């Protein structure tokens, strides 16, 4: 696999990156681009890949909570909507010149070692605090995310034209704290907090707009971090038990990846989760990470 440095908003860089590439996994930086630019470049990158002769193209997407909710503005999460709108466009395209698939993901389980890790209080109790209420987060383990991408490439007869929505488990944070206690033997609890408390007005990133570096701070179409992530938590408040807003077909995922991690507790055991920051987990890739081997007989060139 070859590292190609360039910009996802530069046609010359993209044309160079796609040269002699047969398979491409594409994931754009939503936070840097903003929703408006991601929609344009998400479509344009697809067109350039097709023009370059890519054989199988995977778009890394997220759910449109806005559409699923019947267009409830309180659920308009910019970095989800940009990817979802591109996915909807891709799903309307033919397969004649380039096979394509959509891999719809969600929050990484590995975030529990970073921005969502618990805080240890003076009494030794680890506290998981979030404005989740009784909702649930459909976390995905990064290793399994890579394996789902590999499956899409390895099974074109089944994956062409497919939107595969993946997750490890819909995790309620009360269950998260209980799993943590069972695995580590440490005391833990979940504390629900309000969005106002979780993201106060003095939050240093609160009024920065996602995509401002690309579109400019005066672009009124962009959401602030506070607006964006308030919607982000609301969509999971409404996704409890795999019966709400965001759902996954776990039977299908079991068939595709029988050895997948099936619960957040199993994930904790696998990675040796302690509740403390774990640099090894944080450096384990990101959305769209792929294994270095795509199959024992694979000799194609790939772009991820």
Please tell me the least confidently modeled range out of 12-21, 101-110, 206-215, 259-268: 206-215
Query: How far apart, in whole angstroms, are the C-alpha atoms of residue 224 and residue 217?
Result: 10
Summarize pLDDT for 159-186 with one digit per residue, the tens.
Answer: 999 999 999 999 999 999 999 999 999 9
pLDDT at position 68 over 80: yes
* DSSP 8-state secondary structure symbol assigned to residue 13: H
Question: What are the domain boundaries of the chain?
Answer: 11-297
Per DSSP, the three-state class of 108 is strand
pLDDT of 147 reads: 98
Do residues 165 and 248 touch, judged by C-beta distance below 8 A? yes
CATH number of 11-297: 3.40.50.720
How far apart CA 71 and CA 133 sit, in angstroms, is 22
Query: 118-161 pLDDT, tens per residue?
Result: 999 989 999 999 999 999 999 999 999 999 999 999 999 999 99
- List, as own/partner pairs, every contact residues 132-135 make where C-beta atoms lie below 8 angstroms and the sequence separation is at least 24, other chains included: 132/172, 132/173, 132/192, 132/233, 132/236, 132/237, 133/192, 133/237, 134/172, 134/237, 134/240, 135/172, 135/236, 135/237, 135/238, 135/239, 135/240, 135/244
Q: DSSP label at 165?
A: E
By mean pLDDT, which of 59-63, 130-134, 195-199 is the weakest? Answer: 195-199
């Amino acid at each position: 696999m070859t590292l190609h440095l360039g910009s996802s908003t530069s046609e010359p860089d993209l044309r160079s990156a796609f040269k002699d590439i047969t398979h491409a996994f594409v994931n754009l930086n939503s936070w840097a681009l903003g929703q408006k630019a991601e929609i344009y470049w998400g479509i344009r990158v697809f067109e350039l890949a097709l023009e370059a002769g890519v054989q199988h193209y995977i778009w890394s997407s997220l759910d449109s909570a806005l559409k699923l909710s019947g267009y409830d503005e309180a659920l308009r999460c910019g970095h989800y909507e940009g990817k979802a709108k591109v996915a909807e466009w891709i799903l309307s395209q033919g397969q004649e010149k380039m096979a394509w698939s959509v891999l719809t993901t969600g929050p990484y389980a590995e975030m529990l070692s970073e921005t969502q890790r618990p805080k240890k209080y003076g009494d030794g109790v680890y506290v998981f605090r979030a404005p989740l209420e009784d909702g649930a987060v459909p976390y995905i383990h990064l290793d399994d995310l890579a394996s789902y991408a590999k499956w899409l490439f390895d099974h074109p007869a089944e994956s062409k034209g497919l939107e595969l929505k993946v997750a490890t488990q819909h995790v309620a944070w009360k269950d998260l704290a209980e799993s943590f206690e069972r695995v580590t033997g440490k005391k833990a609890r979940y504390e629900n907090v309000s969005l106002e408390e979780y993201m106060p007005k003095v939050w240093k990133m609160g009024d920065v707009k996602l995509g401002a570096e690309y579109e400019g701070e005066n672009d009124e179409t962009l959401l602030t971090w506070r607006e964006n992530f308030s919607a982000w938590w609301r969509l999971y408040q409404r996704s409890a038990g795999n019966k709400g807003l965001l759902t996954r077909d776990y039977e299908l995922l079991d068939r595709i990846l029988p050895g997948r991690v099936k619960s957040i507790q199993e994930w904790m055991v696998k990675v040796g989760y302690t509740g403390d920051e774990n640099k090894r987990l944080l450096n384990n890739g990101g959305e769209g990470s792929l294994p270095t081997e795509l199959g024992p007989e694979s000799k194609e060139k790939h772009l991820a």
